[in-house]
Structure 1
Amino acid sequence: MNTHPTVTIDLVLDRHTAQEVLRAILHSVLFHRLFGTVKPQTFEVLDVTMPGVDDPEMKQLVDEKVEAFWKSIEGGYNKRGQIIVTLSEKRPRKTWFIMGEEEIPWEQWIINAEIRQPTPEKDQRKFQADLAATLTKSLKTMLTHASSERGRSAVPLITNANGLSPFPIKITVKVGGVEVG
């Protein structure tokens, strides 16, 4: 059984900043896990500066997944969901009858998000301060994992230096345990 590191980030969001926060978190994960030449970008969310990737394909991928998450949350009763970033490597398939490659995950990032709406303005300020602290903690988690021995040793040998990532990246959105988007 192949076990890969899983990093979990828990977020409690409000309606006003949910999409912005999710975009920044996903971009930050990608920034720390893309191994090609990355053009950096920053996101200012609730006075927290987060790194990102200035690439049209990555921007489109992140925007599509955040939009799918948002539409599923807005349209349903369930106000909780996950965005899962899976990094894999391609290996030759080792079976008798099937030739080709298979994708073997080497790391997974799970972003658990819950939407809440504080109503009084006093509660809203505290909520945003708590969310800013959570973003700072999430960024520290990303940095600590990416620079740790376990985080570095999870990365497979890079044999292809073309593009932003030599590894397949899959972003999955789940709301209520069901994959959407």
Structure 2
Amino acid sequence: MLAVKIELVLDRATGRDVIKAVISTIFFHRMFNSVRPVQREVLDVTYCIPDDKPVEALIDSECNAIETSDYDASEVDAFVVPPEATVVVIPSSVQPPSRARSSQINVRFYEKKPRKVWQMKAEEVCWEMWTVSVKWMSSLPDGSAQSQVQKAMLRIIDIVNDYKDHIPPITSTEPNPFPYQIVRSV
């Protein structure tokens, strides 16, 4: 399993849009069916989302939930990401206070493995997990959020281009052969 962690320091004014852009970029690069790209822009950074209404609705609902939540950092810090191929993107100009409010979203992709036992549903095994961890600040220096979006998007592109061996074979004719899940951790 590939586990990737992207850490961001954001303010509430732009945070929801930045998180949506990052998660949409992950989905765009992990939808293996014929996907028509739809361009969006956040903080003068253009990104693509898949033209898939259910995926877009799921991303919107999770980002709306993050926007209206107020998480305590002490609850989030207990979550551990497996160390395999972990990547961290932290802006060098911004260091959050140790007790900053935090949010975390996991995007997981699964492979359906058939079970050997008769009449049992297929087992879903996670083959990739992206963790977007956000420390919330009351304000950020000018250009910090834009810089973080650019770095996160470039890192996502680097990861999907560099790490391909862990992707399971496509054995289904379904529009999206791999189930996915977005999980908010608190």
TM-score, length of structure 2 as denominator length: 0.79
Matched, 1:172 2:169: no
- Matches of 2:116 and 2:132 in 1, distance apart? 32
**What's the C-alpha RMSD, in Å, of the aligned pairs?**
1.7
Q: Which amino acid aligns with 1:101?
A: A
Matched, 1:160 2:182: no
SS in 1 for 2:34: coil
Task: Give 1:39's aligned residue.
Answer: 36
1:36, 1:161 within 8 Å by CA — same for their partners in 2? no
SS in 2 for 1:12: strand
Q: 1:169, CA displacement in angstroms?
A: 0.3
- Matches of 1:20 and 1:81 in 2, distance apart? 14
Matched, 1:20 2:17: yes
Q: Which amino acid aligns with 1:171?
A: I
SS in 1 for 2:173: coil
- Matches of 1:56 and 1:10 in 2, distance apart? 27
Q: 1:51, CA displacement in angstroms?
A: 1.7
Matched, 1:142 2:156: yes
Q: Which amino acid aligns with 1:167?
A: F
Task: Give 2:6's aligned residue.
Answer: 9
Task: Give 1:110's aligned residue.
Answer: 131
- Matched residues, number: 159
Structure 1: which 5+ runs fail to align? 119-123, 176-181
- Matches of 1:26 and 1:57 in 2, distance apart? 14
Matched, 1:63 2:79: no
Structure number with higher helix proportion? 1
SS in 2 for 1:17: helix
Q: 1:71, CA displacement in angstroms?
A: 2.2
Q: Which amino acid aligns with 2:148?
A: T
Task: Give 1:82's aligned residue.
Answer: 104
Percent identity reads 32
- Matches of 1:135 and 1:88 in 2, distance apart? 26
Moved over 6 A (4+): none
Task: Give 1:92's aligned residue.
Answer: 114
TM-score, length of structure 1 as denominator length: 0.81
- Matches of 2:184 and 2:136 in 1, distance apart? 15
Matched, 1:101 2:115: no
- Matches of 1:129 and 1:16 in 2, distance apart? 13
Question: C-alpha deviations, 1:31-72, integer Å up to 9, x for none?
Answer: 011101112112211111122122211111001111222222
Structure 2: which 5+ runs fail to align? 74-100
Q: 1:162, CA displacement in angstroms?
A: 2.3
